[in-house]
Amino acid sequence: MQTEKKTVNQFEPKVIAFVCNWCTYTGADLAGTSRIKYQPNVKLIKLPCTGRIDPVFIIKAFEKGADGVLVSGCHPGDCHYNAGNYHARRRWIMFRKMLETMGIDSNRLHFSWVSASEGKKFTEVVNDLINKVRAAGPFKSYEKINKEYVIND
Amino acid sequence: MKIGYYPGCSLTGTAKEYDKSVRKTAEVLGIELIEIDDWNCCGATSAHITSHRLALSLSARNLLLASKQGLKEILAPCAACYSRLSLSAEELIKKPDAKKEIEELLGEEILEIPKIINLVQLYQRVGAEKMIEKKGTGNAKLKTACYYGCLLVRPSGLNSFDDSEEPQSMEKIVTICGAEPIDWNYKTECCGAAHSIARKDIVVDLSHKILTDAKTRKADIVITACPMCHTNLDMRQKDIKKKFDKHEKIPVLYLSEFVGLSMGLTKEELGIDLHFVPFESKTV
Amino acid sequence: MITEEIIRNTSQNPNICYQCGKCSAGCPIRNYMDDSPNKIIRYIQLGLYEKALNSDTIWLCAGCLTCSTRCPKEFDLAKFMDALREIALKEGIKVKEKNLLKFHKAFLNQIKKHGRAYELGLVREYKLATGDMMSDVDVAPAMFMKGKIGILPHNIKDRKGMKDIFEKTEVKIK
Amino acid sequence: MKVGVFICHCGENIGRTVDCPKVAEAAGKLPGVVHSVDYKYMCSDPGQNLIKQAIKEKELDAVVVGSCSPHMHEKTFRKAVEGAGINPFLCEIANIREHCSWVHENKDEGTDKSIDLIRYAVEKVKRNEPLTTIRVPITKRAMVIGGGISGIQASLDIANAGYEVVLVEKEPSIGGHMSQLSETFPTLDCSQCILTPRMVEVYQHPKIKLMSFSEVEKVEGFIGNFKVTVRKKARFVDDEKCTGCGDCIQNCPIKKKALSEFDENLTTRTAIYVPFPQAVPNIPVIDSEICTYFKNGKCSMCVKVCGRGAIDFEQKDKLIEEEVGAIIVATGFKLYSIEKKPEDSPIKGYGEYGYGKYKDVIDGLQFERIASASGPTEGEFLRPSDNTVPKKIVFIQCVGSRDEAKGFSYCSKICCMYTAKHAMLYKHKVHDGEAYVFYMDIRAGGKMYEEFVRRAIEEDDVKYIRGRVSKIYEENGKYMVKGEDTIAGVPVTIDADMVVLATAMIPQPESKKLAQTIGIPYDSYGFFNEVHPKLRPVESSTGGVFLAGACQSPRDIPESVSMASAAASKALVLFGSDFLEREPIVAKVNENICAGCFYCKKVCPYNAIEIKEIPSKNGKPVRVVAYVNEGLCQGCGTCNATCPSKSVELTGYTDAQIFAEISAI
Ligand SMILES: Cc1cc2nc3c(=O)[nH]c(=O)nc-3n(C[C@H](O)[C@H](O)[C@H](O)COP(=O)(O)OP(=O)(O)OC[C@H]3O[C@@H](n4cnc5c(N)ncnc54)[C@H](O)[C@@H]3O)c2cc1C
Ligand SMILES: Cc1cc2nc3c(=O)[nH]c(=O)nc-3n(C[C@H](O)[C@H](O)[C@H](O)COP(=O)(O)OP(=O)(O)OC[C@H]3O[C@@H](n4cnc5c(N)ncnc54)[C@H](O)[C@@H]3O)c2cc1C
Ligand code: SF4
Ligand code: SF4
Ligand code: SF4
Ligand code: SF4
Ligand code: SF4
Ligand code: SF4
Ligand code: SF4
Ligand code: SF4
């Protein structure tokens, strides 16, 4: 799947991806070595493990202007750190609910498992999210979040 | 102690003596049996093998009537009834959707699904000591083959009152009655119950094997807690003899009759005179 | 289609059966059946429904639960057999063990009429249906004399309710 | 902070879709960046020199390289900056090749994205702290737990490489299950004959300290630095004095009160005993449960006959501490006893096979003892009930294995083979005997295994019947085995004289407890888990703890031995250096603000978080805070994300660093 031809001035979303070093980051590397093309709107932030991903990061990303957020790590059971992603999963379940109550459309936040060998899947996940976010339009409510949920730098 | 009572069709007909002896022994043990008002046949094998919903509804109607009578526990002395009622009760508990559907069909909600117990459980409950206390003359040293048949202890998950392969609960009861239970191989083998009329040949073969093993292991008597087993093992001995020349008769008693005898009740009181193979107790 | 129906009716997946044959090995009726019980499951696994539904095995199964109790995969074969019979009836498949079915029908008819089994009615109906007038002639009088077979049926009070249940749940045999 | 940025063209690889000079130019304008250049091949020597030079000339504090994936060249560039005098952790890589030039076609887009990626990296590097590689000293000494063939092999390998080994065995003798076997597939060599020399070698090895009749009680520390407490159970015989003469055993009057564990209950043993004649160490143990002296203070026969005065009724358990750098766990398996269902387990029991009820229905290990030349029948095939030669034996496979209703879902892997072996051994000795095997599938995947099974069938005429047995019952002195031949589709009943059940291999009953003591994960059955089943098959997820043999899953001897050697080599790799070097990406606790809630401790997958007491000021009672054991911490950061007060932070990935990256959007 490739970038749809863009018309001038079309809204181009910004997507931040929080990924673990061992699986998804490496999966994205593989997409690169395999030269599988995808849309450039995504920026990866590498963390050792999805267990390190604090829900605050996600809110922060929206606050700082992201229109969509991807969180991706090793498949359950494949975690480099045994159980890190298990804890992450539990946290996300809670977090998703919280986001919904804050009025963030769940289309803007995507959790997925991408292993080091799933380069193709990585590009699909990314394209899919970017398309969804593009359809949803720019994310505007961050100001509201900013007011209601003060996050310290 | 009061307990609900579901005699089932056999106990009102072919197994009259079973009904008689269950009621008699219960009376001696101080248990009041409260018959479910206007109960209907559980459908036995014929219902569940042709329509699952029919089988479930027939049982459910009885459970409904019992719950309306405020009965929390039902004694079902027939192993087949016991099996049908408890399997249905389990399904109604586990599958709320099925329960709802059946309730709509019956036009009423089953508020509390009663627990189904069999005769062995009842005697277990009353306790061994009490039985000995009530004991008149014992069936001293009678070598006894306790026959569970197929439905009393199966499936293993449901009827957790005893092991489904090596059950021992009846043995414990007859031991208390002074008898000597034998170890044998056919205590949970099926007698072919449901095929008694349409495929008599099968039932005759199966019953013959069961009785032969009991005989080889020197049993004087076979004890059962199921009217279908009893019919096949007692009434069919004539047919067995016809097919297997070597067959030697062996009396088959209901557990309740056996327990009744050791309490000092008479054969007539217990209906033992209604059997096809006569029982001449050594001690009574 | 049929597999789905079976799965729905029995909450069981025939694919879990690994064809070990333990069910057949312990089945008391095995020697009288054309196909071994495990073969019936195999037919369903392969989609050979005709073969399964036409086999006399499903009718000869006595529902003794020996198989279900011992199956290493906890497959409830007895329940599975129930479901197959029900489907066979609905599909109008010719039953090989005719007398068995006739017996069950006769039995159920008594219950439909009276609410409880009525031995004399059952015997009468079964004999008429099968034409087998001779079976059990020797025990019937004895039973009668012992008072084990009554002349009159045991009618329950709510016979309309009983009829209702049957009308709504009985499988109409094609 | 002065940051330098270096943009790599990677020949055409980056340059084709990213305008590198433009990226360098844009990077030069980022706050904090004082130097920015692009170059054709940054990883080449001239490229690296470019960085080193700039560091010196522009007095850079930190470096960002825009190039390939950090998985490719992070190490290269860290080394380069270190060479120029900057802490290596003040170098960040922006991945503009795999994550940009190779996956985006439009040059403008690629260029824009590269600039973004550089900006993130610059923001992050500005918040990087200088870190030092963690160096942990290594105690070059290993402990092996379990003295079966796996433990023996691992001990000998390590000891022969010149390192000390402490071998801990819970039974009075080492040898494990292999010492009970008769002959072994697929070559049919005598088990004792190949095992005994190795047991002796262990005993005599100057580098091996054998602690038999001992169990591990406590494990503290971490890779390279474990402190293990071992309980040396009281044998009531002084191992220093005892010569193993056996006089005490000969004279002990208590002969029949206990069944021999070694002979799988087929024989009895005395109150003072060695499990078997070739036991290592050959020092007896007193079973205080049945010894008359322990009952009423009488007897003391053994004391009277022992010329060495070795009997010591007063002996107590001893706790001994051992310091080791690596631990190899090789505690093996047990056979599932189907006689009674284990309590606290959902298992339903196997009443239909009559095991425990019929004397001649036995399990595989009992058959091994009967077949063994040193066994109770001296290798003659005699059945336990009446010591006659069975003329018809039925073997049943998969008993309790592949059976989720009454046993376990897994395949025990070796029983197909040992059943073929059993049938063969029997046929070789009892020529007119008949052997039947009930099986579901034949799993014979090893070298010469399939050939072995075929030989049993083709040459030794063992009858294989595909189907499970439903019931075994006794009739006229025969065991009637009721099965179904699912291939022919016919029922079969065999009137056997003896039945052998190939029961499942299960973990040692105490395996979960031991796993918790050491801190290794285990599966739902209680088998120990390796980090990766394919690529790290003998390592547990706890650094420095290795696994070998049947404690991981059912295994035969060849596999157990190979894995034991593999585990030994892993320990030796560790001993190959004096220090353990690790990336300093570990969690650190800010003790001043830690509330001591220990949520972090709960989530840490490595049990790296400990409880530390610190005296608080002004003499108030001590306060407890979290403390990260750097040896154990693997740097996953889960604690960091979990801590409600942000008192624990992962170095290299602190909140500040990540927020900076996010804010760079
Ligand atoms: C019937 C049968 C026949 C077999 N035949 C063959 C064959 O012919 N060929 C073949 O290759 N394989 C055969 N095997 C398999 C073979 O027995 C195993 O592969 C082998 O024994 C595994 O060795 P191990 O050292 O891993 O475990 P084990 O032999 O079980 O040894 C484990 C040791 O650890 C000790 N231990 C346990 N827990 C602790 C603890 N907490 N602390 C200290 N010590 C502890 C035990 O006492 C034991 O000494 C057979 C197995 C069976 C059951
Ligand atoms: C279809 C298939 C699917 C498989 N799927 C799985 C799976 O899902 N999971 C799994 O665990 N295993 C799987 N395997 C097995 C797996 O491929 C092997 O276990 C593994 O590759 C063996 O590794 P090796 O290094 O021993 O041999 P190889 O992978 O064969 O490597 C041997 C190397 O030596 C080189 N070489 C050969 N001769 C010489 C020489 N004379 N001089 C120098 N170099 C030489 C070869 O070029 C080669 O690079 C699969 C195998 C096949 C065929
Ligand atoms: S016992 Fe169970 S698994 Fe085995 S063949 Fe029968 S149904 Fe299938
Ligand atoms: S339930 Fe049916 S198939 Fe199963 S063992 Fe009994 S008769 Fe055989
Ligand atoms: S540093 Fe990486 S991107 Fe640059 S030339 Fe080397 S391999 Fe290519
Ligand atoms: S008699 Fe003494 S020296 Fe000999 S084996 Fe016994 S304890 Fe050891
Ligand atoms: S004291 Fe105990 S061990 Fe010693 S000889 Fe007597 S019984 Fe045996
Ligand atoms: S190895 Fe063979 S006998 Fe053992 S469980 Fe597996 S298939 Fe069954
Ligand atoms: S979670 Fe934070 S506050 Fe709680 S103990 Fe751990 S470091 Fe301290
Ligand atoms: S970073 Fe991971 S391994 Fe280290 S202490 Fe925190 S949770 Fe444990």
pLDDT over 90 (residue D664): no
CB pairs under 8 A between C and D: 66
**pLDDT level of residue B196 (50, 70, 90 thresholds):** confident
Min Cα–Cα distance to chain D from A141, Å: 17
- Kind plus residue range of the DSSP H or E element containing D91: strand D91-95
Q: Do residues C66 and C36 make contact, with C-beta atoms less than 8 angstroms apart?
A: no
Residues D383 and D482 in one domain: yes
Q: Do D357 and B165 touch (CB under 8 A)?
A: no
Task: State how far residue C72 is from chain D, nearest Cα, in angstroms.
Answer: 5
State residue A149's pLDDT score: 46
Query: β-pairing, D134-137 with D579-582?
Result: antiparallel
Closest residue of chain C to B58, computed from CA coordinates = C165
CA distances (Å), origin D365, targets D358, D362, D556, D658: 16, 8, 14, 59
User: What integer best gives the mean pLDDT of chain A?
Assistant: 80
- Chain centre to alpha carbon of residue B50: 23
Single out the residue in D69, D94, D125 at which a domain terminates.
Answer: D125
Q: pLDDT tens digit string along B43-57?
A: 888 888 888 999 999
Please state the rounded mean pLDDT for residues B234-252.
93
Evaluate whether chains D and A are touching (3 or more beta carbon pairs less than 8 Å apart). Answer: yes
Residues D380 and D440 in one domain: yes
Nearest CA to ligand 9 atom 2: D643
Given an 8 Å threshold on Cβ–Cβ distance, is C72 in contact with D404? yes
What is the ipTM score, two decimals?
Answer: 0.82
Query: In DSSP terms, which residues pair with D67 in a beta bridge?
Result: D95
Q: C: neighbours with 3+ CB pairs under 8 Å?
A: B, D
Tell me which residues have their CB closer than 6 angstroms to ligand 8: D 397-398, 401-402, 411-416, 440-441, 443, 502
Q: What is the pLDDT of residue A5?
A: 47
Yes or no: say if A102 and A147 are a contact pair by the CB < 8 Å rule. Answer: no
Q: What is the pLDDT of residue D272?
A: 97
pLDDT band at B134 (very low <50, low <70, confident <90, very high): low
Q: Give the number of the ligand closest to the Cα of residue A79.
A: 10
D192 found inside a domain: yes
CB contact, 8 Å: A43 with chain D? yes
Mean pLDDT of chain D: 93
Distance D329 CA to ligand 8 centre (A): 25
The finding on whether D39 has its CB within 6 A of some atom of ligand 9 is: no
Contact D638 A84 (CB under 8 A): yes
Indicate the average pLDDT of chain B: 89
| CATH number of D116's domain | 3.40.50
**Do both D399 and D439 map to the same domain?**
yes
Q: Is the pLDDT of residue A7 over 70?
A: no
Q: For residue A127, give both structure tokens.
A: 């394209």
Centre a 10 Å sphere on the Cβ of residue D75 and count the other Cβ atoms it contains: 11
Closest Cα to residue D142, out of D574, D539, D542? D574
Q: Is D68 in the pocket of ligand 5 (CB under 6 A)?
A: yes
- Rounded CA-CA distance C40/C55 in Å is 8
**Mean pLDDT of the region D156-182:** 98
Q: Is residue D230 part of a domain?
A: no
Residue D318 has pLDDT above 50, yes or no: yes
| Per-residue pLDDT band at B157 (split at 50, 70, 90) | low
Cβ within 8 Å, pair D110-A32: no
Other beta carbons less than 10 A from residue A144's beta carbon: 11
Residues of D in contact with A38 (CB under 8 A): 103-104
Give me the residue from D405, D467, D470 closest to C74, CB to CB. Answer: D405
Identify the band that residue A22 occupies on the pLDDT scale cut at 50, 70 and 90: confident
Q: Which residues of D109-118 are buried (b: 16+ CB within 10 A; e: fewer)?
A: bbbbbbbbbb
Q: What ranges do the domains of chain C cover? A: 2-91, 100-169
Best probe residue, ligand 10, of D638, D640, D646 (max atoms within 8 Å of C-beta):
D638
- Among protein residues, the one with the nearest Cα to ligand 4's atom 4 is C67
Gap between the Cα atoms of D265 and D366, Å rounded: 8
User: Does residue D130 fall inside a structural domain?
Assistant: no
Percent of chain B surpassing pLDDT 70: 93
Task: Label residue D665 by pLDDT band (50, 70, 90).
Answer: confident
Kindly determine whether residue B166 and residue D475, on different chains, have CB atoms separated by under 8 Å: no
Return the CATH number at D624. Answer: 3.30.70.20
Do β-strands D333-335 and D505-507 pair in parallel, antiparallel, or remain unpaired? antiparallel
Asked whether residue B212 carries a pLDDT value surpassing 90, the answer given is: yes
For chain D, give the percent of residues with pLDDT over 90. 83
Q: Same domain, yes or no, for D405 and D360?
A: yes
Q: What is the mean pLDDT of chain C?
A: 86
Residue D515 sits in the same domain as residue D602 = no
Q: How far does residue D598's CA lie from ligand 9's centre (Å)?
A: 5
pLDDT of residue D598 exceeding 80, the answer is yes
Among residues C48, C21, C51, which one has the least CA distance to residue C37? C21
pLDDT tens digit sequence for D397-445: 999 999 998 889 999 999 999 999 999 999 999 999 999 999 999 999 9
**Tokens standing for C34?**
């054309």
- The CA dihedral of D99, D101, D105, D108, to the nearest 10 degrees, is 110
Residue D136 lies in a domain: no
Q: Which chains touch B (3 or more CB pairs under 8 A)?
A: C, D
- Shared domain check, D597 and D566: no
pLDDT given for residue B45 in this prediction: 85
- In this prediction, residue B197 has a pLDDT band, given cuts at 50, 70 and 90, of confident
Q: Which positions 134-193 of B are in contact with D (Cβ < 8 Å)?
A: 156, 163-166, 185
Whether ligand 5 lies within 6 angstroms of the CB of D39 is answered as: no
- Render pLDDT for A51-78 as a digit per residue (tens, 0 to 9): 888 888 988 898 888 999 999 988 776 6
Range(s) of the domain holding residue D279: 247-305
**Interface residue B13 vs chain C (CB under 8 A):** yes
Using the predicted structure, report yes or no on whether residue D653 has a pLDDT greater than 60: yes
> Does residue D488 share a domain with residue D519?
no
**Residue ranges of E strands in D116-273:** 134-137, 141-145, 164-168, 183-184, 189-190, 208-211, 214-222, 225-232, 258-259, 268-269, 272-273
* pLDDT beyond 50 at D218: yes
Residues D327 and D351 in one domain: no
| DSSP per position, D397-450 | EEESSS-TTTS-SS--SSHHHHHHHHHHHHHHH-TT-EEEEEES-----STTHH
Q: How confident is the model at residue D173 (pLDDT cuts 50, 70, 90)?
A: very high
At residue C134 the predicted structure's pLDDT band, cuts being 50, 70 and 90, is low
> What domains can be seen in chain B, in order of their start residue?
2-119 (1.20.1050.140), 136-274 (3.40.50.11810)
Q: Are residues D497 and D350 in the same domain?
A: yes
Whether D493 and D478 map to the same domain: the answer is yes
Q: Is the Cβ pair D473, B166 closer than 8 Å?
A: no
**Distance in Å from the first CA to the final CA of chain D:** 21
Contact B171, B148 (CB under 8 A): no
Q: Is the same domain home to D516 and D494?
A: no
Please indicate, yes or no, if residue D353 is contained in any of the structural domains.
Answer: yes
Greatest CA span in chain D, whole angstroms?
101
Lowest-pLDDT range of B207-216, C138-147, D160-169, D525-534: C138-147
Whether the CB-CB separation of B282 and B140 falls below 8 Å is answered with yes
CATH number assigned to the domain covering C2-91: 1.10.1060.10
- A48 contacts on D by Cβ (under 8 Å): 585, 635-637, 650, 653
Q: What is the structure's pLDDT at D359?
A: 93
Kindly tell me if the per-residue pLDDT of D62 is higher than 80.
yes
pLDDT value at residue D18: 95
Chain D contact partners (≥3 CB pairs within 8 A): A, B, C
The more confident residue out of D401 and C155 is D401
**Percentage, residues of chain D above pLDDT 70:** 98
* Residue D342 sits in the same domain as residue D445: yes
In chain D, the number of structural domains is 5
Query: Does any domain span residue D581?
Result: no
Q: Cβ separation of D475 and B164 shorter than 8 Å?
A: no
* Structure confidence at residue A141 (pLDDT): 67
**Which tokens in the block code for residue D484?**
């179904």
Q: What amino acid is encoded at D313 in this protein?
A: F
- Considering only CA atoms, which residue is closest to atom 2 of ligand 6? D306
Residue nearest to atom 6 of ligand 6 (CA): D248
Q: For the whole model, what pTM was predicted?
A: 0.84
pLDDT tens digit string along C49-62?
A: 999 999 999 999 99
Return the ligand 3 atom nearest residue C70 CA: 1
pLDDT at residue D348 in the model: 53
- Taking the Cβ of residue A73 and every Cβ of chain D, the question of whether any pair is shorter than 8 Å is answered with no
The pLDDT assigned to C139 comes to: 65
Task: Check contact B-C (3+ Cβ pairs < 8 Å).
Answer: yes
D345 pLDDT tier (thresholds 50, 70, 90): very low
One-letter-per-residue 3-state SS of D12-56: CCCCCCCCHHHHHHHHHCCCCEEEEEEECCCCCHHHHHHHHHHHH
Looking at the domain assignment, is residue D236 inside a domain? no
What ligand is nearest to the CA atom of residue D598?
9
Q: With touching defined as 3+ CB pairs under 8 A, do chains B and D touch?
A: yes
More confident residue, B282 or C153: C153
Query: Among A116-130, B92-106, D339-353, where is mean pLDDT lowest?
Result: D339-353
